[in-house]
Amino acid sequence: MTLEEEKIFAGELFCPGDPELKAIKLRTHNLNLDYNRLYEHETEERNRILHEILGGIGEGTFLQGPITFHYGKHTTIGKRTFINFNFTVQDDALVSIGDDCNFGPNCTIVTPMHPMLPDERKAMLDKDGNVKRFCYAKPVHIGNDCWFGANVTVCPGVTVGNNCVIGAGSVVTKDIPDNCFAAGVPCRVIRELSEADSMIHKPDILGENQVIR
């Protein structure tokens, strides 16, 4: 782990232009391109690249592509998770995604934060008095068995609990507790999920299929 990464994980200002960080990002950006050039049936090579990009990935997880990871090594994804087209993760800070999750197209997870004042965004001084551009980052944690609709954005520092559904187009700025349906801009809890949401109560959609009990 580099010194600047230690600052990231401590929640402190860090310099994204640090040469060691830039080398990590360049490697990952190139691997993104390698993955996105492959055909969907080239599963062995796609899996090899994902294991090079990510900090961890569980068995049975599938990323449709194209994908865009910033660091890659700061992201872990659990087992049997499905991620649809155009998945973007700006994982300066750590990003963890649980088992059995589903992501619709064009979902984005971001962790970096920037100073609010324009002069501070342009430049600040490090401990040695050198002029540098800084930002900071907050981790994102997503539980198990979550479903994210298309075009969802998860903002820095957010935790989404287990068994949640996030409506399409939502911008998640605050934590979402377990077993909730949440939606909106900004995203808010609409209600708790319950047995009333079972497909049993939608026979016209269920058709001749059965719910497993």
- Catalytic (active-site) positions: 114
Residue with tokens 């903002």: 155
**Of 167, 173, 172, nearest to 193 (Cα)?**
167
Structure tokens given for 20: 């060691």
**Of 8, 119, 26, 17, nearest to 69 (Cα)?**
26
The DSSP H or E segment spanning 140 is strand 140-142
Q: What's the rounded Cα separation, in Å, for the pair 8 and 16?
A: 10
Q: What's the rounded Cα separation, in Å, for the pair 52 and 8?
A: 21
Q: What are phi and psi of 134, to 5 degrees?
A: -125, 155
The DSSP H or E segment spanning 37 is helix 19-37
Where does the chain have alpha helices with state H? 3-9, 19-37, 43-53, 118-122, 203-206
Q: Tell me the chain's radius of gyration from C-alpha atoms.
A: 19
- Cβ atoms of 190 and 182 within 8 Å: the answer is yes
